[in-house]
C-alpha cells in the first residue's frame, strides 16, 4: 500500500477534532487498506508500532532526526534548526524545507506503508554503540524517497509527535462501519479488544474473518486483559440495595493491581493500565511460579507494601519507591510486599471470565497455593449491614482502604465498570463524599520555593461521550516538596508543543501535557463555572463544572489509565447530590 494514501489521511485528520469527521476519514482509509497491512495502519494512526503492552519505543532524538534530514536533502543543519525554531514542530518544518528542495530533486521510488513500518521497526529494535549511525542511515534512506508530506509524518511518528487525538473507541467505530456496515457492531469489537488489548489484532480479525471471527475471539496468554472496574457506593445500606441479600465482601487493599500471566517459569506482569511492570517486581517473577498448580494461568492480584515486622499493609505510595530503573534489588528488600490474589481469568488453555465469581474464587483457591508471599485476598460472604460493618472493621484495622463487594453469580466483565463490583471506602475524606481521580492536562511554573517545578497543575475529567478531557480546576495545594519533584519527573517527558486535541480548555497553561497521568484530589464543593469545561452546558448554558478548594491528596495514580479518571457523569451525580443536601439543610 502506498504510504502517500496514509499521509493524505493523516493530513486530513490533523485538520479536524470532530469525532464524526475523524471516523469518516478512518472508514475511507480502512476501505482502501489491504487486509494484510490493516494492523500496521491501526498502530501507526496511534503513533505506535505495536500495542502498548509490548513496550516498543521509537525513541529517536530530535538532533538525530535533524542530521538525517540534512543528510538526505543536502540542506545545512543550521537552516533546518532555524525553520524548526519558527514552527515548533520538526515534522512540519521538514515538509517546508523539503518542499523547497523537491523542486530540484528527482524522486527515486514510491514508498509503501510496509517499507515505512519495517524501517521504523528496525529503528526501534536498534541498540548499542553503533545504533545512532544505523538509525540515521535508515531514516535518511526513507526521507530520500519521501515526498515532503510523507517525510513530515514519518518524522512525527519517529519523534512521537504525531498527535491526532484518535481514541480507541473512534478506531473501533470506524472498523465496525468499514467491515460490517454499521457502528452497532462496535460492541462485538469492544469485547475482542477488552480481552486482547491489541487493536491491530482486532482490526486484522474483522478485516480477514469478519464478525464471525470477532465473535470467536479468544483470550491470548501474555496479552493483557483489560481490567473489570467497580462502581462506588457511599454506605452499607446503598450496597445492600444494589447487591441483594447475599454477596462477597473482600478487603480493598491499597496497592497496585497486577495481572499475572504464567506458563511454567515464564511470567508477564501488567499494571492496571496494561503497562508491562515486570522490572518493578523481580520478587513476583521469581517466587510466584512455585505457587501455581496449572500448565498456564492468568491471575489478578493486588501487590501491597507491608511492614515485615507486623505484617500490616502499608499505603500505595510505598510502592512508588520501586518505580526506578536502577538498584531495584535494593528497593525490593527495602520495600517488601505480599501478592494478594483476587481473581482468575484463564487456566489450562481455557477462559474463566464467563464463570461466576463463586466458581472463579474456587478455581483460584484450587490452582494457587498460599504461603508467606502469596495470599488470597481476605473474603467473606455477607448478608446484611451488620456483617458488612464487621468485615469493614477488620479490613480497616488491617490497614486497607475499605471493601470491594462482588456479586456471587456474575462473570468477569473485562474492560467495563459496572454494578457487579462495588467499592465502599470507610472514610469520606472530604465534603463531597469521595476523592476524585483527575487527569493532568497542563502545568504552571512554580515561584519561590517551587521554582523549577510545576507549582500548579491544570486538571480535567474524562468525558466518555466525546472521548475528551475537559478542564475542571487548577490545583496548587496539598503538594509536598517530594511530591512536586516526583510529579516533575513524571510530567516533564509528557510536555507537548501543541495542546492535544482531546484536551478541552479555555484556560491557557504554561505547558500542555499529553493526557496520560491521573492524580487524586479532594475538594470542598462542585460549583458552576464560566471558564471550566467539564459537563459544559448540562446544568446551565455556557457553564461547566469546577472544583472549589481542590487539594492534592498525595496520591499519584500511575496505575490508572486516563479513561479511568472521574467522568463528567460522576461529577454531575456528585453535584446533584450536594445540591440535595444543601436544600435539606435549608429546610431544617
Ligand atoms: P479505585 O482505584 O478506587 O477505582 O479501586 C479499584 C482498585 O482497587 C483496583 O484497580 C485494584 O487495584 C484495587 N483493589 C484492591 N482490592 C481489590 C479487590 N479485592 N478486588 C478488586 N480490586 C481491588
Residue 388, ligand 1, Cβ within 6 A: no
Residue 437, ligand 1, Cβ within 6 A: no
Q: Do 438 and 512 meet the contact criterion of CB atoms below 8 Å apart?
A: no
State which H helix or E strand residue 444 sits in.
Answer: strand 436-445
Closest C-alpha to 394, from 250, 277, 490: 250
Residue 342, ligand 1, Cβ within 6 A: yes
The C-alpha atoms of residue 434 and residue 411 are separated, in whole angstroms, by 27
Number of Cβ within a 10 Å radius of residue 266: 12
Crossing angle of helices 62-73 and 148-159, rounded to 10°: 160
pLDDT of 580 reads: 53
Rounded to the nearest angstrom, the distance between the alpha carbon of 257 and the centre of ligand 1 is 7
Closest C-alpha to 139, from 125, 127, 151: 151
pLDDT of 582 reads: 47
Eight-state DSSP code of residue 227: P
Closest C-alpha to 7, from 32, 17, 21, 201: 32
Q: Do 120 and 58 meet the contact criterion of CB atoms below 8 Å apart?
A: yes
Counting ligand 1 atoms within 8 A of each CB, the residue from 302, 303, 338, 379 with the most, and so the one to mutate, is 302
- Atom of ligand 1 minimally distant from the CA of 251: 19
Rounded to the nearest angstrom, the distance between the alpha carbon of 280 and the centre of ligand 1 is 19
C-alpha cell of residue 434: 469521595
Rounded to the nearest angstrom, the distance between the alpha carbon of 528 and the centre of ligand 1 is 31
pLDDT of 586 reads: 42
State which H helix or E strand residue 194 sits in.
Answer: helix 186-196
Closest C-alpha to 512, from 559, 553, 459, 549: 459
Rounded to the nearest angstrom, the distance between the alpha carbon of 463 and the centre of ligand 1 is 22
User: What is the three-class DSSP state of 348?
Assistant: coil
Same fold, 48-159 and 229-429: no
- Atom of ligand 1 minimally distant from the CA of 406: 20
The C-alpha atoms of residue 401 and residue 417 are separated, in whole angstroms, by 19
Rounded to the nearest angstrom, the distance between the alpha carbon of 382 and the centre of ligand 1 is 19
Q: Point out the catalytic residue in the list 40, 135, 156, 252.
A: 252
Look-up of cell digits 462495588: 422
Helices (H), 541-587: 568-587
Residue 361, ligand 1, Cβ within 6 A: no
Q: Do 53 and 270 meet the contact criterion of CB atoms below 8 Å apart?
A: yes
Rounded to the nearest angstrom, the distance between the alpha carbon of 219 and the centre of ligand 1 is 22
Q: Do 420 and 413 meet the contact criterion of CB atoms below 8 Å apart?
A: yes
pLDDT of 324 reads: 74
C-alpha cell of residue 33: 487498506
Counting ligand 1 atoms within 8 A of each CB, the residue from 253, 357, 420 with the most, and so the one to mutate, is 253
The answer for residues whose C-beta is within 8 angstroms of residue 471's C-beta and 6 or more apart is 441, 442, 458, 459, 460, 503, 504, 505, 506, 507, 531, 532, 533, 534, 544
- Atom of ligand 1 minimally distant from the CA of 557: 2
Q: Give how far the C-alpha of residue 335 lies from the chain's centroid of Cα atoms, to the nearest Å.
A: 26
- Atom of ligand 1 minimally distant from the CA of 250: 19
**Beta pairing class for 229-233 and 417-425:** parallel
Rounded to the nearest angstrom, the distance between the alpha carbon of 285 and the centre of ligand 1 is 22
Closest C-alpha to 435, from 536, 552, 318: 552
pLDDT of 427 reads: 55
Distances (CA, A) of 161 to 42, 104, 140, 457: 17, 29, 18, 22
Rounded to the nearest angstrom, the distance between the alpha carbon of 401 and the centre of ligand 1 is 9
Residue 253, ligand 1, Cβ within 6 A: yes
The answer for residues whose C-beta is within 8 angstroms of residue 350's C-beta and 6 or more apart is none
Residue 272, ligand 1, Cβ within 6 A: yes
Closest C-alpha to ligand 1, atom 18? 252
Residue 570, ligand 1, Cβ within 6 A: no
- Residue 458 φ/ψ, nearest 5 degrees: -100, 130
Residue 250, ligand 1, Cβ within 6 A: yes
Closest C-alpha to 322, from 553, 484, 558: 558
Fold of the CATH domain 229-429: D-amino Acid Aminotransferase; Chain A, domain 1 (3.30.470)
Distances (CA, A) of 234 to 406, 525, 538, 577: 15, 17, 24, 12
Q: Do 155 and 90 meet the contact criterion of CB atoms below 8 Å apart?
A: yes
Break the chain into its structural domains and give their ranges: 48-159, 229-429, 436-587
The C-alpha atoms of residue 276 and residue 57 are separated, in whole angstroms, by 13
Rounded to the nearest angstrom, the distance between the alpha carbon of 422 and the centre of ligand 1 is 10
The C-alpha atoms of residue 152 and residue 447 are separated, in whole angstroms, by 38
Rounded to the nearest angstrom, the distance between the alpha carbon of 419 and the centre of ligand 1 is 14
- Atom of ligand 1 minimally distant from the CA of 403: 19
pLDDT of 388 reads: 94
Residue 404, ligand 1, Cβ within 6 A: yes
Counting ligand 1 atoms within 8 A of each CB, the residue from 274, 345, 398, 404 with the most, and so the one to mutate, is 404
Residue 67, ligand 1, Cβ within 6 A: no
Closest C-alpha to 432, from 541, 544, 567, 573: 573
The C-alpha atoms of residue 158 and residue 126 are separated, in whole angstroms, by 13
Residue 252, ligand 1, Cβ within 6 A: yes
Residue 257, ligand 1, Cβ within 6 A: yes
Q: Do 259 and 250 meet the contact criterion of CB atoms below 8 Å apart?
A: no
Look-up of cell digits 528496525: 122
Fold of the CATH domain 436-587: OB fold (Dihydrolipoamide Acetyltransferase, E2P) (2.40.50)
**Beta pairing class for 337-347 and 374-376:** parallel
Look-up of cell digits 477488620: 394
Residue 472, ligand 1, Cβ within 6 A: no
- The answer to whether 234 is a known catalytic residue is no
The answer for residues whose C-beta is within 8 angstroms of residue 117's C-beta and 6 or more apart is 37, 40, 44, 49
* Beta-sheet strands, E only, within 120-170: none
Give the architecture (CATH level 2) of 48-159. Orthogonal Bundle (1.10)
Taking the CA of residue 437 as centre, how many other CA atoms within 13 Å lie in the half-sphere pointing to its CB? 18
- Residue 27 φ/ψ, nearest 5 degrees: -60, -45
The answer for residues whose C-beta is within 8 angstroms of residue 504's C-beta and 6 or more apart is 460, 463, 468, 469, 470, 471, 533
Q: Per-residue pLDDT tens, the chain, 588 aa: give them.
A: 999 999 999 999 998 888 899 999 999 999 999 999 999 999 999 999 999 999 898 878 888 889 988 888 888 889 888 888 887 788 888 888 777 765 455 556 789 999 999 999 999 988 766 788 899 999 999 998 899 899 999 999 998 888 788 889 999 999 999 999 999 999 999 999 999 999 999 999 999 999 999 999 999 999 999 999 999 888 888 999 999 989 999 999 989 999 999 999 999 999 998 999 999 999 999 999 999 999 999 999 999 999 888 888 888 878 888 887 778 888 899 899 999 999 999 999 999 999 999 999 999 999 999 999 999 999 999 999 999 999 998 998 888 889 999 999 999 999 988 889 999 986 544 456 678 999 999 999 988 778 888 999 999 999 988 889 999 999 998 998 889 999 999 999 899 878 899 999 999 999 999 999 999 999 888 888 999 999 999 988 899 999 988 999 999 998 889 999 999 999 998 888 775 554 444 443
- Residue 534 φ/ψ, nearest 5 degrees: -65, 130
The C-alpha atoms of residue 337 and residue 526 are separated, in whole angstroms, by 38
pLDDT of 425 reads: 84
Q: Do 413 and 506 meet the contact criterion of CB atoms below 8 Å apart?
A: no
Amino acid at each position: 500500500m502506498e504510504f502517500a494514501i496514509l499521509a493524505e489521511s493523516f493530513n486530513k485528520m490533523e485538520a479536524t477534532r470532530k469525532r464524526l469527521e475523524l471516523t469518516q476519514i478512518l472508514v475511507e482509509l480502512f476501505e482502501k487498506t489491504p487486509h494484510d497491512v490493516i494492523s500496521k495502519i491501526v498502530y501507526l494512526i496511534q503513533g505506535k508500532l505495536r500495542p502498548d503492552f509490548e513496550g516498543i519505543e521509537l525513541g529517536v532524538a530530535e538532533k538525530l532526526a535533524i542530521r538525517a534530514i540534512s543528510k538526505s536533502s543536502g540542506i545545512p543543519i543550521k537552516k533546518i534548526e532555524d525553520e524548526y525554531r519558527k514552527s515548533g514542530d520538526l515534522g512540519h518544518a521538514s515538509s517546508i524545507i523539503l518542499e523547497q528542495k523537491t523542486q530540484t530533486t528527482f524522486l527515486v521510488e514510491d514508498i509503501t506503508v510496509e517499507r515505512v513500518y519495517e524501517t521504523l521497526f528496525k529503528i526501534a529494535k536498534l541498540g548499542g554503540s553503533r545504533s545512532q549511525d544505523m538509525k540515521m542511515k535508515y531514516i535518511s534512506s526513507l526521507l530520500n524517497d519521501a515526498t515532503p508530506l510523507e517525510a513530515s509524518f514519518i518524522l512525527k511518528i519517529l519523534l512521537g509527535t504525531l498527535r491526532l487525538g484518535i481514541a480507541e473507541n473512534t478506531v473501533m467505530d470506524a472498523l465496525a462501519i468499514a467491515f460490517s456496515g454499521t457502528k452497532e457492531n462496535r460492541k462485538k469489537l469492544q469485547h475482542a479488544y477488552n480481552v486482547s488489548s491489541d487493536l491491530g489484532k482486532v482490526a486484522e480479525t474483522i478485516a480477514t474473518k469478519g464478525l464471525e471471527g470477532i465473535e470467536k475471539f479468544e483470550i491470548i496468554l501474555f496479552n493483557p486483559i483489560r481490567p473489570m472496574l467497580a462502581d462506588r457506593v457511599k454506605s452499607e445500606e446503598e450496597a445492600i440495595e444494589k447487591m441483594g441479600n447475599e454477596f462477597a465482601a473482600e478487603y480493598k487493599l491499597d496497592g497496585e493491581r497486577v495481572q499475572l500471566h504464567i506458563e511454567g517459569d515464564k511470567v508477564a506482569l501488567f499494571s492496571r493500565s496494561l503497562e508491562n511492570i515486570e522490572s518493578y517486581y523481580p520478587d513476583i517473577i521469581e517466587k510466584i511460579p512455585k505457587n501455581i498448580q496449572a500448565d498456564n494461568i492468568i491471575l489478578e492480584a493486588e501487590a501491597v507494601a507491608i511492614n515485615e515486622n507486623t505484617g500490616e499493609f502499608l499505603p500505595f505510595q510505598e510502592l512508588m519507591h520501586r518505580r526506578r530503573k536502577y538498584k531495584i534489588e535494593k528497593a525490593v528488600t527495602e520495600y517488601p510486599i505480599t501478592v494478594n490474589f483476587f481473581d482468575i481469568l484463564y487456566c489450562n488453555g481455557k477462559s474463566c471470565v464467563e464463570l461466576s465469581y463463586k466458581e472463579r474464587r474456587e478455581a483460584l483457591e484450587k490452582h494457587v497455593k498460599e504461603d508467606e508471599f502469596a495470599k488470597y485476598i481476605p473474603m467473606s460472604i455477607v448478608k446484611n449491614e451488620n456483617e458488612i460493618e464487621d468485615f469493614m472493621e477488620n479490613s480497616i484495622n488491617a490497614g486497607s482502604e475499605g471493601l470491594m463487594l462482588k456479586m456471587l453469580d456474575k462473570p468477569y466483565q473485562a474492560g467495563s465498570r459496572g454494578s457487579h463490583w462495588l467499592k465502599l471506602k470507610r472514610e469520606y475524606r472530604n465534603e463531597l463524599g469521595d476523592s476524585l481521580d483527575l487527569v493532568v492536562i497542563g502545568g504552571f511554573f512554580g515561584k519561590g520555593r517551587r521554582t523549577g517545578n510545576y507549582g500548579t497543575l491544570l486538571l480535567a475529567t474524562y468525558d466518555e461521550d466525546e472521548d475528551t478531557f475537559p478542564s475542571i480546576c487548577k490545583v496548587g495545594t496539598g503538594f509536598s516538596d517530594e511530591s512536586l519533584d516526583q510529579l516533575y519527573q513524571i510530567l516533564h517527558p509528557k510536555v507537548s508543543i501543541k495542546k492535544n486535541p482531546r484536551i478541552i480548555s479555555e484556560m491557557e497553561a504554561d505547558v500542555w501535557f499529553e493526557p496520560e497521568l491521573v492524580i487524586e484530589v479532594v475538594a470542598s464543593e462542585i460549583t458552576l463555572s464560566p471558564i471550566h469545561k467539564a459537563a459544559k452546558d448540562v446544568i446551565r448554558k455556557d457553564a461547566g463544572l469546577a472544583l472549589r478548594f481542590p487539594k492534592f491528596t498525595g496520591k499519584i495514580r500511575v496505575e490508572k489509565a486516563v479513561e479511568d479518571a472521574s467522568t463528567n457523569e460522576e461529577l454531575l451525580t456528585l453535584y446533584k447530590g450536594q445540591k440535595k443536601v444543601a436544600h435539606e439543610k435549608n429546610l431544617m
